[in-house]
Amino acid sequence: MTRQDQIYKWFVYALGLLPIWILDSFLLGRYPLYGAKPLLLLLAVVSVSVLEGATAGARFGLAVGLLWELGYAGGSGSMVLFLVLVGAVAGSAAQYALTQGFLGSFLCSAVAMAALELLRIFLGVFTQKAALTVLLEVATREFLWTLVWTPLVYLIFNRIFQKVGLDKLA
């Protein structure tokens, strides 16, 4: 792929991220279901990582992490590092252990969500934000509600990958 093809490919991935970000921040984020908001940007990072590989997934995770931190209030910068790690691990898992299809994406999404929710529960208990039972209830709802959106997010990025992914433009 030429440099121009690479720029075009990642521009198309960014365009694919736009409706997901709008859905995540302006619709689903404002109207939580039983107190749970899905994390569609995390699903986007996992989907692209599974399709494109570890290095590209880590780079996409960096870009989405910066978007997350700049676009949502109360960020500490930790989501940038977390999404870079998610992108690298999901991409590596898909390249070497899982399939680069929907099942691999779903499994990686479930593991990434579980890791994030466990981290949030640990920090919530450590800082005494709420009782453990409350944190577990919210985390379970958020985990399940996010995984419901996995097929849609994967479908969007898989369609993009079919058109411009890897060496399709060369």
Q: Pseudo-torsion of CA 138, 139, 142, 143, nearest 10°?
A: -150
> Could you give the maximum distance between any two Cα atoms of the chain, in Å?
55
Q: Which CATH number fits domain 3-164: 1.10.1760.20, 3.40.920.10, 3.40.50.720, 3.40.640.10?
A: 1.10.1760.20
| Range with the poorest average pLDDT among 13-27, 52-66, 81-95, 127-141 | 127-141
Nearest C-alpha neighbor of 43 from the set 168, 142, 167, 163: 142
Whether pLDDT at 44 is above 50: yes
| Range with the poorest average pLDDT among 63-77, 88-102, 153-167 | 63-77
The reported pLDDT for the residue numbered 63 is 92
Residue in the block written with tokens 């921040």 = 25
Q: Could you tell me the CA-to-CA distances from 119 to 32, 50, 124 in Å, in that order?
A: 21, 23, 8
Mean residue pLDDT of the chain comes to 85
Whether pLDDT at 47 is above 90: yes
Domain ranges of the chain: 3-164
Residue 169: phi, psi to the nearest 5? -85, -15
The reported pLDDT for the residue numbered 125 is 77
Whether pLDDT at 167 is above 70: no
